[in-house]
Chains A and B, each alone.
Chain A
């Protein structure tokens, strides 16, 4: 048992030594491989960051398309509150915010201060109570408008169904594009990584053949390549990490350009992104290094 462990200890050392020699003898290939991995990681990471921000920010546009409700003048405050509760209970309503006629007056005067004297001269506040209804799904807008319109305390309901539909389609399009691009970029990343590793294996094919001929087992032959793949991925990841953090900052401007009216949501979890990229690249590198090696038996 002791002899066996000792042999394995020496074998481990020799495998690491083979790995070192392989790196030493393949400097140019290593440079190209790491470069390709960095490009792949940056493409993948930045697509995720920009896509995620674009999607999250597009969701903020939903809040700008609300149903605006105007209560009948002289409706009792209690009835108004009951109506608000009724509205809140309608399926598809996310929230309903009451704006009193005094709050409306204040807001009005902030925008049109020139009418202050005119408003003050009136015996009573001419503005009605209003409410802003936020929807869970924009597509429910028309249905909810119909229900609210028929409530006895309601005078007028304003909702632009057309805008809501367009916005909903835009959000769906952004999501679909985001997912599609992410899938394509992931596939491209897997292909590039696998090709780079294959290239290295192909470069050392004579060595693999010789090792096979003198009785080396698969473990001895393949492990240096797998270790190199892991090492490449790790180096490329460390380098791309720096740029990914920069991209996370720069991407706000890109999203602002693409969706000028949206509130920019900056909640991308960079730890998740970096770990995701690392795990994916490690998995692809390890799996990718086996295929070409098996072909060299």
Chain B
């Protein structure tokens, strides 16, 4: 489904973020990118999402070179929950999470149904009409995840999704993400927290100093 071949990324200031990274992700995989801060996890996610371009190497999405796919079409297929949330602070929770559906032109009924379902899944139904700026870090994180998954994307990418959550909420959120994966969505998650949850095997890709140092199923 997603194939990265010999991806290298060097930032203009000379920092080398990724070195010859080659990964193949199949449809329905649950991939965990692990590694310490600065290992290159976020850069890798951003390259897949088309926010950063690799210095060299190729990325294929469903066999097609991503350079040939219109960026907005690619991004509509990939839901992304950001570490720094990327929410519109002066809009309500429901206005934020329904944006991907509005872009697609989904009906009012679908908007209402899907937003209720996503809010319920993230346990933030009582925050529906709250402004994002009034929420705590953990609540913002859940809004960000709700927005990423609301449009049933083919791929769901999460950057440190549990970073701002307490252990109980984090476990709940992870269970929900696994349920989405079981419904067929491909999950790529960057984290340095490893939890013991679920039953489905997960592909762990360990990054260190921009290199893939280990690939394993757990």
Contact = CB atoms under 8 A, between A and B. Distances in A.
Interface of A: 6-11, 14, 17-18, 21, 25, 206-207, 209-218, 220
B75 A11 contact: no
B90 interface: yes
Given A210-B86, A214-B75, 15 more contacts: A6-B105, A10-B105, A10-B108, A21-B95, A206-B89, A210-B87, A210-B88, A213-B86, A214-B147, A215-B72, A215-B73, A215-B100, A215-B103, A216-B72, A217-B103
Contacts of A211: 99, 103
Interface in B52-75: 72-75
B104 interface: yes
Contacts, number: 65
Contact of B103 (A6, A25, A214): A214
Contacts of B215: none
Contacts of A17: 102
Contacts of B108: 10
30 contacts: A6-B105, A9-B105, A10-B102, A11-B102, A11-B105, A14-B105, A17-B102, A18-B102, A25-B90, A25-B91, A206-B88, A206-B89, A210-B87, A210-B99, A212-B72, A212-B75, A213-B80, A213-B82, A213-B86, A214-B76, A214-B99, A215-B73, A215-B75, A215-B76, A215-B77, A215-B100, A216-B72, A216-B99, A216-B103, A217-B103
Contact of B102 (A6, A14, A212, A213): A14
A8 B105 CA distance: 6
B199 interface: no
> In the complex, which of the residues A11, A215, A217, A220 has the most CB atoms of chain B within 10 Å of its own CB atom?
A215
B52 to A, nearest CB: 12
B106 interface: yes
A216 B105 CA distance: 11
B51 interface: yes
Contacts of B103: 11, 14, 211, 214-217, 220
B88 A6 contact: no
B183 interface: no
A206 to B, nearest CB: 7
> In the complex, which of the residues A6, A8, A10 has the most CB atoms of chain B within 10 Å of its own CB atom?
A10
Contacts of A8: 105
Contacts of B13: none
A122 B184 CA distance: 123
A242 B22 CA distance: 67
Interface residues of B, number: 27
Given A213-B51, A213-B80, A215-B73, A10 B86 contact: no
Interface of B: 49, 51, 72-77, 80, 82, 86-91, 95, 99-100, 102-108, 147
A169 B87 CA distance: 65
A211 B102 CA distance: 11
Contacts of A6: 105, 107
Which 10 residue pairs spanning A and B have beta carbons closest together?
A7-B105, A215-B75, A215-B76, A11-B105, A14-B102, A10-B105, A217-B72, A216-B103, A215-B72, A207-B88
A216 B147 CA distance: 13
Contacts of B87: 210
A18 B91 CA distance: 11
A9 B108 CA distance: 11
Contacts of B80: 213-214
Nearest to A217: B72
Nearest to B104: A7
Nearest to A218: B72
A216 B80 CA distance: 13
A212 B51 CA distance: 10
A207 B88 CA distance: 6
Nearest to A5: B105
A61 to B, nearest CB: 60
A222 to B, nearest CB: 12
Nearest to B96: A210
Nearest to B108: A10
B79 to A, nearest CB: 8
A261 to B, nearest CB: 62
Contacts of A212: 72, 75
Contacts of B91: 21, 25
A214 B143 CA distance: 14
B50 to A, nearest CB: 9
A220 B102 CA distance: 9
